Amino acid sequence: MSSEKRKVFESLYQEFYSMVFQVSLGFVKGDRALADDLSQEVFINTWNALEKFQGRSSHKTWIYRITVNTCLQFLRKYQKRNPRRLDESGLEMPSHSQNEALKEQNERLYQAIGRLEELDRLIIMMVLDELKYEEIANVVGVTEATLRVKIHRIKARLKKLMNNE
């Protein structure tokens, strides 16, 4: 293992772990243990692919892609073996939230996000992480104009899901 590779990896891990965890958390509908496992898997995949990084995108976009691919692959395998667990899991919100009303609203939002299709869930999680639309479009593989339409439709769907609960 080269010292340079280890330094780059450690830097990426420090900078992007919380982002990877939050995206993973969205994919597994708030199951913190699964999100932690997925985050570790993402960084294993990052380590294995580090020498293949070509610099065509930012490290953040590249790690997002690895995160999404890892999460989607996990969900496909996991849901075949345990089709109900992810659908029935409750959302565990972070304990640092002091405002109960905000906590409840966040719970409802994440539960609604969990009911979206995989791609829509990915897009809205990146929007919530305040990524630029250009970056999101690159990760998803669509134009910015198409992305804006998708985001508008996703927000409308979330509003419907939250009002019908």
At residue 78 the predicted structure's pLDDT band, cuts being 50, 70 and 90, is: low
Percent of the chain with pLDDT over 70: 81
Summarize the confidence of residues 84-104 as an average pLDDT.
47
Summarize the confidence of residues 68-97 as an average pLDDT.
59
pLDDT of residue 106 exceeding 80: no
Quick: pLDDT tens for 3-15.
888 899 999 999 9
Question: Taking the domains of the chain in order of start, what are their residue ranges?
Answer: 3-163
Percent of the chain with pLDDT over 90: 23
Q: Which two tokens stand for residue 61?
A: 């976009």
**Rounded CA separation 162/91 (Å):** 15
At residue 1 the predicted structure's pLDDT band, cuts being 50, 70 and 90, is: low
pLDDT of residue 97 exceeding 50: no
Supply the pLDDT for residue 89.
Answer: 43
Q: How remote is the C-alpha of 159 from its chain's centroid?
A: 20
At residue 114 the predicted structure's pLDDT band, cuts being 50, 70 and 90, is: confident
Supply the pLDDT for residue 39.
Answer: 93
Please state which of the four CATH numbers 3.30.200.20, 1.10.1740.10, 1.10.10.10, 3.40.50.720 is assigned to the domain occupying 3-163: 1.10.1740.10
Supply the pLDDT for residue 103.
Answer: 63
Supply the pLDDT for residue 4.
Answer: 87
- 98 C-beta neighbours (distance < 10 Å), count: 7
Supply the pLDDT for residue 31.
Answer: 79
**Rounded CA separation 126/129 (Å):** 5
User: What is the average pLDDT value for the chain, to the nearest integer?
Assistant: 80
Global pTM reads 0.57
**Angle value at C-alpha 56, between 51 and 58, nearest 5 degrees:** 85
The three-class DSSP label of residue 89 is coil
